[in-house]
């Protein structure tokens, strides 16, 4: 289970809502990248430039492309909410059932 930052019943989720390199969409095998409290705190503190390849290697022991780190944002989602990260040209969005208009046949 991934470490998470939870406040007032909401989980901090990281995503990159700018065109270019995606954060999670370019590294989908590493779910820790969505939630890790130390990465979240860097974004909240405005220290995105410190989220480097070396920082992630030291923190999680993995090698990833961190190009999407410069555009990271935090979305607070109610704990237990199902969601997915969608991406187009690196622009990521968080999609939940509540923000979709589902069609029914």
The model's pTM: 0.88
- Contact between 35 and 13 (Cβ < 8 Å): yes
Domain count along the chain: 1
Is residue 1 domain-resident?
Answer: no
Give residue 2's pLDDT.
74
Quick one: what percent of the chain has pLDDT higher than 90?
A: 63
Q: How many CB atoms lie within 10 A of CB 105?
A: 2
Give the residue numbers spanning the domain of 89: 6-99
């Amino acid at each position: 289970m991934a470490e998470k930052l939870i406040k007032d019943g909401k989980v901090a989720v990281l995503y990159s809502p700018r065109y270019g390199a995606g954060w999670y969409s370019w590294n989908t095998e590493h779910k820790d990248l969505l939630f890790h409290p130390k990465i979240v705190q860097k974004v909240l503190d405005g220290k995105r430039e410190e989220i480097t390849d070396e920082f992630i290697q030291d923190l999680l022991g993995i090698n990833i492309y961190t190009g999407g780190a410069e555009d990271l944002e935090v979305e607070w989602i109610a704990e237990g909410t199902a969601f997915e990260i969608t991406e187009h040209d690196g622009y990521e969005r968080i999609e939940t059932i509540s923000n979709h208009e589902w069609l029914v046949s």
